[in-house]
Amino acid sequence: MLRVLRQNGAQSRNEIAARVGLSRTTVSEITSDLLGRGAIRVVDTDAVERVGSGRPAERLALDPASGQYMGVDFGHRRVNVLVADAAHDIIASGTARYEESAQWPERLDAGLALIDRLSAETGVHYGALQAIAIGVPGWGDRSSADGVAEVFATRFHAGVIVDNNVRFAGLAEALHAQSDSVRDLIYLRLSDGVGGGLVVGGQLVKGSNGYAGELGHVTAVPGGARCRCGKSGCVETVASVPAILGRCRELGVPVDTLDDLKAAVEIAHPTVDQVLREAGTAVGRVLGTAAMTLNPDEIVLGGEIIQVAPALLRQVADTVTYELSWRIDAAPVIRPALLSDDGGARGAIAALFHESPLLAGYEANVTTDGGR
C-alpha cells in the first residue's frame, strides 16, 4: 500500500483498493492504522469521487515531509531542476541556461547555482532529500557524467542515478499518458540528433548496455548519406533537424532555422512538404519494425520540429499504419509528446518513484519477508 502511494501520489481509498486488489473494508482498516502511526496523511478531498454518504472522498498520501526527490536534466543549452515531496507535489522548479559550447564543469556550476537559488526562493532546504536522478545527453560515453553523480552525492548526501535524458522524457510521457492502460511505449525525439527511449510494463528499459530505444543510428536509407557515427543512411541523416533543413536547402529552399521551416510550412511550400514526407516515411519504416518488436500501446514523437511541421507526424503515422496493416489491432496510438521542455526532469523523478534501487526499500522488504 505504501508502494502504491509512493508510485502514484495521492489516492482515495477506492483507488488504493483497486490498485492493491483488496476490499474497501480491508483498505480502510490498514489506512486507519497507517494514519494513526503518522506514515500517511489525508492531503485533500476529491470533490468528484464521493463515498456512499455523499461526503467527498479523502485522498491519502505519504507524509509529504518524509522525503524529497530531485530530478535534474542537463540539456545541450540549459539545465532543468525539479524537486518533489513524498506526496509527488512539485515544491521547487527552475531552469538555468548556458552556451552549447559550455563544458561539464560550467554546466555543473550552473546546475548547482540554480539549486541554491531555488532553495533561497522557496525555502526548501533539501534536508529530507532521499535521492537524485540526473539526465544527461548522449550515448554510452558517460564518464564525465560519472563525475557529476559524485558531485551531487557528496553535496547532498543522497543516492544518485544517472541516465540518458531522452530516455527519462520517454518515461514521463508514458506516465502522463491519458490512459492508465499505457504500459508499453516507444519514444523518439527528433532534434539536433535523434534519440529515444523504451517503456515496457510501465518501467524504463535500458537493455543490455543502456541503448534500448536509441533508434537514431538504425539504417533508414541503405547506401544513404554518410552519418557522423561512421555508417550511412541512418535515421539521423534524414530526420534530425539539421538533416531536414539541409535537405530543404539542397532542393533550393532557403531555411536556416526551425522558424524558417515554420514559415515555409505555413505557406504549404511543396518542396518542404516533400522533404518532410520523405523523412516521415523513413522514420515510420523504422518505427514500424520497432512497433512489431514491442507491440506498444503508444508511439510518441518529441522535439520541437514535431510541433512546427505536423506533416512529419502525419507521414510517420501513415507509414506505421501501413506497416501494421496486416494486423490492424496491433496499431499503436501515434501522438506528439505532451510534456514540454521539463519532461526530462519529470521523468527523472518518476524513475526515482517507480524503479530506482535507491528507493527499493519496500520491495526489498517484500522480497525478504514475503518470499518466505
Q: Is 300 in the site for a second copy (CB under 8 A)?
A: no
Contact 192, 203 (CB under 8 A): no
Residue closer to a second copy, measured from CB, 29 or 250: 29
User: Which residue of 105, 147, 207, 310 would you call a contact of a second copy, by CB under 8 A?
Assistant: 207
**Least distance from C-beta 184 to a second copy, angstroms?**
6
Taking CB under 8 A as the criterion, the residue among 332, 343, 344, 347 binding a second copy is: 332
Q: What is the smallest separation between the CB atom of 22 and a second copy, expressed in angstroms? A: 7
Q: Shortest distance, CB of residue 369 to a second copy, whole angstroms?
A: 6
What backbone torsions phi and psi does residue 366 show, to the nearest 5 degrees?
Answer: -60, -50
CB of 241 to a second copy, least distance (A): 20
Minimum CB distance to a second copy smaller for 69 or for 187: 187
Smallest separation, CB 123 to a second copy (Å): 33
Residue 201, interface with a second copy (CB under 8 A)? yes
Q: What are phi and psi of 341, to 5 degrees?
A: -60, -20
CB of 231 to a second copy, least distance (A): 6
Of 209-238, binders to a second copy (CB under 8 A) are 209-215, 217-219, 222, 227, 229-231, 234
293 binds a second copy (CB under 8 A): yes
Binding of a second copy at residue 36 (CB under 8 A)?
no
Residues 6+ apart with CB under 8 A from 107: 74, 79, 98
Torsion angle, alpha carbons of 133, 134, 140, 144, to 10? -130
Residues 46-105 that bind a second copy (CB under 8 A): none
Instruction: Specify which residues 79 forms β-bridges with.
Output: 74, 96
Torsion of CA 125, 7, 148, 215, to 10 degrees: -150
Among 128, 200, 258, 263, binds a second copy (CB under 8 A): 200
Binding residues for a second copy restricted to 102-161, rule: CB under 8 A = 139-140
Cβ 2 to a second copy, closest distance in Å? 7
Residues 8 to 27: which contact a second copy by CB under 8 A? Answer: 20-22
Instruction: State the nearest-atom distance from the C-beta of 320 to a second copy, in Å.
Output: 11
| Residue 285 binds to a second copy (criterion: CB under 8 A) | yes
Shorter beta-carbon distance to a second copy: residue 40 or 108: 40
Which of 18, 30, 90, 128 is the binder for a second copy (CB under 8 A)?
A: 30
Identify which of residues 310 and 357 has a Cβ nearer to a second copy in the complex: 357
Query: Torsion over CA of 349, 199, 141 and 217, rounded to 10 degrees?
Result: -140
Kindly list the residues in this chain that would bind a second copy in the complex (CB under 8 A). 1-4, 20-22, 30, 34, 139-140, 183-184, 186, 198, 200-201, 203, 205-215, 217-219, 222, 227, 229-231, 234, 285-286, 288-290, 292-297, 322-323, 325-327, 329-330, 332, 362, 364-372
